Amino acid sequence: MNIPADCRSCGVCCFSDSDEYVWVRGDDWSQLGDAADRLAHFIGHRAFMRMQGGHCAALDVRQTADGAKEFFCTIYERRPQICRDLGRGTPECEAELETKGGRCG
């Protein structure tokens, strides 16, 4: 499994078809501050990041001058703990690439 050199050229782990993909815990919600209501919501008793277009609502997909796609987390400094735990090169990152690699963007 080739791990991308930079998450900005990948973004795979920010994509999902599930509305219950990015868990937002109490601390995460507080950390989101005024962005919480816009980017996260409750489903039952648990909160999750909103999903739109097949990816987390906080993800910004940009196109470079040469046509390549770049993936930016617009709340990087305030992202939920589950995103912090899924670091590049971790087994979870490898699993994401294995199951979803190539289908994003």
Answer for the pair 83, 74: CB distance below 8 angstroms, yes or no: no
Give the interface segment with ligand SF4, choosing from 30-38, 40-48, 62-70, 88-96 (CB under 6 A): 88-96
Residues 10-39 interacting with ligand SF4 (rule: CB under 6 A):
10-14, 22
Q: For the chain, percent helix, then strand, then coil, each to nearest 5?
A: 35, 25, 40
Using CB under 6 A as the criterion, what x/- string covers residues 45-74 for binding ligand SF4? ----x------x-xx-------------x-
Report, in Å, the least distance between residue 94 CB and ligand SF4.
8
Residue 31: CA atoms inside 13 Å, Cβ hemisphere, count?
A: 13
User: What are the strands of the beta sheet with 40-43, ordered from one edge?
Assistant: 23-24, 46-49, 40-43
SS3 of 52, please?
strand
Give the interface segment with ligand SF4, choosing from 26-34, 40-48, 61-69, 81-89 (CB under 6 A): 81-89
Report, in Å, the least distance between residue 66 CB and ligand SF4.
20
Q: How far apart are CA 84 and CA 3, in angstroms?
A: 17
Site of interaction with ligand SF4 (CB under 6 A): 3-4, 7, 10-14, 22, 49, 56, 58-59, 73, 75, 79-80, 83, 86, 88, 93, 96-97
